[in-house]
Every structure is written in C-alpha cells, then in structure tokens.
Structure 1
C-alpha cells in the first residue's frame, strides 16, 4: 500500500512562546506619555498648592472667627455680670423700701393708738374738770347766800394790823408770787395750810398742818366782824378744804391753786364759809 506523504513543517521549539521582550516604542509615543504625565503632575501640584492656600485661608478665617467669638463671649459675660449685680442691687433696694414701709405702717398704727388714748384721757379730764367747776360754782353760790345772810344786819370790820399780827401779814405779803404745790411748806412753794402755818409761826404760834384742823384752832368769829390776821376757811369747821388769812379792806391772802399761786384776792369774789381768830 502506498503511503501518503504529509508535508512536515519544522518549527522552532520556541515558536509557540511569545517573546518576552517588550515591544519597542518609538520616540513620539514616549514623548506624548511624558507630556501627559508632566501635565498631571503639574495639575496635582497646582491643586496641592491651591489646597494648601485654601487650608491656610480657612485656618486664618477660623482664627479670626474664634478671636471674635471669644471677645463677644467675654462681652456677654461682662454684661451678664453687670445685669446680675444691678438686679441684686435693685432687689436689696426694694427690700429696704419694703422694710421701711412696714416700719412706717407699724409706727403709724402705734401713733394712732397713742392719739386715741390721749384723746380719751383728755376727754375724761375735761369732763372731770367740768364737774369740779360745776360743784365749785354751786358751793360758791351757797357760800354767797350764807355770807349775804350774815352781812345783811352788820358790816365787815377791818382792824389795823399791829404787833404779832403785823408780823404774820408781812410774812404773807413777802410770799406773793410763789408757786402753789400740793403739800408745799416753802420756802418758794406752798399749799394753803402750809403757808398759813408758816406765817403764824413767825409770830410764835404753832398751828396744825392741815386746813380742817386750822379751821378750829382759834376762837370762831363772825364774817361780819373780821379783823386783820383772822384765819378764813372754806367748807365746814373741822373739815375745811381751804384756808387763807384776812388782810383787811375786804381782801385775803392765800396759796390759791396751781394756776394762781400765792395771791391777794377780794373776799367778795370767793366768800369764805367761816373764820377763827388766833391772835
């Protein structure tokens, strides 16, 4: 049998392996790639510089903003402190005003109570004075009636002062103008019986201290036969409430009351109830 002949192609043993050698690049391609790379690098550089500048600007802006914020905050804190201090001062002032108002109200209440009490006391005193004046007026009226009955048949006689009587009268007249003081026995203030007792002591006569006892210390005499130096009394004998000494010419001298003191008065203005003679 006839064998067919197949042509055999002889290949190198390395023909199926790609060459490990890099293809050769021409100069223009390299140049272009270098240019592109350079542009990218330039762009990155510009971008980096721009970013750095922007970061610097941002940092500066942040620094400026922070300084302004700090100053603003300090101002606000100061204003807040001032406001707090002012509020505290206002509160204290208001508290002081409230306390003063409360004190004034309390004082006004106290003053009003005092005024009412004084008004009530004055009213009571006025009423008592009115009643006393009415009683005194009634007493004087009764005494005038008695004196009128006693003098209707005779005339009051004035005897001249002589001897020890003159001493009594001189002492009494020397005390005119002195003050009246209840319980007073001199030398510058007297009550009625204290003055009469001291006057008669100048003449060596010791009289009792009070009016009631002095009204019975001597010989009773009629009011129509009075003599200088006779002791006059008002009220009942033994319980008289006032005494004086007759000094002649229808007058008598006594320590009258706190408003008059020691004075000389007309007997007709305040007639006595009776009289006694000691000298």
Structure 2
C-alpha cells in the first residue's frame, strides 16, 4: 500500500454524471416549454407597442427654475428702480442749477439797479449844485442878462433826455432847452426853432460869442437850435439817442446865429 493512500485528496469532488444530466434535462425542458408557448400564439396577433413616458422634472429642478425666474424679475425691478432714481436725480440737479442761475441773475440785476440809482442820485446832486450856482450868478447879473448864467444852466442839464415836445425839468427838445436857458436871465424867447432863428440880431457863424443862439436850416424855417459855449463847441438837446450833450461845431456846422444878449 502506498504511504499517501490514507491522505484525503484536496481536490474538489467531481459532480456525478447523473446530477449533471438531470440539470441539463431540466434546462432543456424549460426552453422547450417557452418555444411551444410562442408557437401556440395567434398567427395574426398585433405587435406589442410600448408607451415610453418622458421623465418629469423633479421637484428640486422645478424649484431651481422658479428661483431663477424670481431672481430675473428682481433684477429687472432693480434696474427700473435705478433708472427712476437716476432720472429723479438728473431732474433735481437741473432744477437746482436753474434756481441758482436765477438767483445769480436776480442778484446781478439788483446790483446793477442799485448802481444805476446811486449814479442817478449823484447826477441829481450835481445838477442841484449847478442850479444853485446858476441862481447865484443870475442874482448878481441884476437882470441885465449874462451869457455865463445861460451856459451854467445848460451845463446843469447835461445828460437829460431828448423828448420831442418836452419842456423839462429832466427832458427837453432843442428849442425848449434854449428857451428855458435864456429865461434864467430874463430873455423871453419864442418856443419853436423857426421863430428862435429870427430873434435878436443875425451875426452869422464867423464871429460867434458865448451865448449866441445857433440854428440849422434857413432863418425863419430852422429845424434845430443850440447855444454856442466857446472853444468851437455848442450845447444842445441833440436827439433821442444823445440827449443833452456838448458837441464840436466843426462836426455839424450851423447855418447861422443870432445874438440876444
């Protein structure tokens, strides 16, 4: 006997042939049954159709979509609100600038008005002083008339307005100013230029003296008068643009002159 005959083998025991045959027979029977059942079905049976349902959104995905829509809407509302705020800010800034400009314009206009009033007051004070001097000169003339008094009165009216038909005290036409000046020394002149050009003695323009009445146009139909004040100059109520001014006789030569003093 071998020394290893009593040691059991470590190999797995082989399955018996009978068990293998039995399992094969069972499997074959099952397959045969399935085949027979398929052959026994009706020849014209309709093919089986299968409806496949699409998977629906899960509750988590639906929630995410809803949140995204809410976020989009909130963003749109935010942009609209920002636009409204920007528009309101722009409008407010424009209104503030307009108010500031208007305030500055009013302040400037007020300052100019105050300056003009001050200048007017100073001018009136100067005229008052001139008229006071005129009164003194007139008193010292003893009624005989004085060219200096006439000239002093005329210079006191410098800057007054020219207004056709006006007779003072702050606006004149040419003949009313001449008439008022000579009235200061007791000489009563006609009111209009035509008649003033015939008053007194005709002296022409080559031998003028201070106080002579100058006229433009022919004697008896003159259209303008003024008074010679010396040094080739005369004073008159010139026109609406100039008012009462002193002018150079060479720039606007007179036609003739009359002497009443």
Specify the TM-score bucket, using the shorter chain as the normaliser. Answer: 0.3 to 0.5
Structure 1 length-normalised TM: 0.42
Larger RCO, structure (CA 8 Å, separation 6 or more): 1
More helix by share: 1
| Greater gyration radius | 1
